A = this chain, B = another copy of it.
Amino acid sequence: METPVESTRERLLNIAEQRFGEGGYEGTSLRAITVAAAANIAAVNYHFGSKEALLRAAVARAMAPVNTERRRRLDQLEAKGQPTAEQLIRAFIEPGLDLVLRRGERGPVAARFIGRVAFDPSQRIRELYAAESDPVEARYLTALQAALPRAAPESVAFGYVNMLGLLALHQSQALTRAPGTEDVEDPGKLAENLIAFLVAAFDRGLRA
C-alpha cells in the first residue's frame, strides 16, 4: 500500500481538488469539503489559513509536476538547437494530459481541477492559476514565436492562447463530457489527436 496514513492536510487537499473541480470555488463550501474529508471545519483555517489559501495550495500541488516536466522538456529541446513547433506543442500538451490518463490514480481529478480553475468565472481565481504556471508558459510562447518566424508574433500568440484553452478544455472534461459528445475520444489517443489538431492549425492557420 502506497498510502499508510493520510494526514488531515492531505485529505483536505485531495477532497478540495475533487470538489472545487466539480462545483467551482464559489460553488463549493468549506463545510462540504471538511465533511467529505472527515475533518473538522476549523482544520482548514488551521492548516491553510483561509478558503482561498486552500485553493492556492491545491493549485500549487496539482501544477507542480506539470510545470516541472514542461521545464525539463523545454530545456532538453533547446539544448539541441531550435525546436520545431510540433516538438514544442508536444512538450507542452503531453505533461498536461498525462494526468488525464492516470486512471485509478488522482490524475484525472487533478486534471479536471486544473482545467476548471483555469476557466473559473472569477478573474481573481484565474489569476491564481496563472501565477502558478506563468513562468514556464511564457518560455513556450517565446519559443513558439522563434519556431514560426514566418507567422506574425501576434498570430503565434493567438494560437498559443488557443492551445492553452483547448488543453484546459480537455483537462476539465476529463471526467464529465457534455451531452451528445460523450464518446468523442479514446482517452489514450487524446494527446495525439490534440497535438495533431494544434500542429495543423499552427503550421497552416496563422497569418504571415
Q: Are A200 and B196 in contact (CB-based, < 8 A)?
A: no
Q: Are A178 and B121 in contact (CB-based, < 8 A)?
A: no
Q: Are A204 and B200 in contact (CB-based, < 8 A)?
A: yes
Binds B, one of A32-40, A71-79, A99-107, A154-162: A154-162
Chain B residues, Cβ within 8 Å of A130? 178-180
In the assembled complex, the Cα of A204 lies from the Cα of B199 at a distance in Å of 9
Instruction: Tell me if A3 counts as interface (CB < 8 A to partner B).
Output: no
CB < 8 Å: which of B23, B118, B181, B198 contacts A160? B181
Q: Are B185 and A154 in contact (CB-based, < 8 A)?
A: yes
Which of A25, A165, A180 gathers most chain B CB within 10 Å? A165
Count of chain copies: 2
Chain B residues, Cβ within 8 Å of A119? 119, 121, 172, 174
Q: Are B161 and A121 in contact (CB-based, < 8 A)?
A: no
Instruction: Tell me if A183 counts as interface (CB < 8 A to partner B).
Output: yes
Q: Are A161 and B181 in contact (CB-based, < 8 A)?
A: yes
Instruction: Tell me if A193 counts as interface (CB < 8 A to partner B).
Output: yes
In the assembled complex, the Cα of A156 lies from the Cα of B197 at a distance in Å of 11
CB < 8 Å: which of B22, B159, B183, B197 contacts A121? B22
Nearest-CB residue, chain B, relative to A159: B197
What are 28 of the A-B contact pairs (CB < 8 Å)? A23-B122, A24-B26, A25-B121, A27-B122, A116-B121, A119-B121, A119-B172, A126-B174, A130-B180, A159-B197, A161-B178, A162-B169, A162-B197, A164-B175, A164-B178, A165-B166, A165-B169, A165-B174, A165-B175, A166-B166, A169-B169, A193-B207, A197-B201, A197-B206, A198-B201, A199-B205, A201-B205, A204-B204
* With A165-B174, A201-B201 already in contact, 17 other A-B pairs whose C-beta atoms are closer than 8 Å: A22-B121, A23-B122, A24-B122, A26-B26, A119-B119, A120-B121, A126-B175, A134-B179, A134-B180, A158-B185, A158-B193, A161-B169, A161-B176, A161-B178, A164-B175, A164-B178, A203-B204
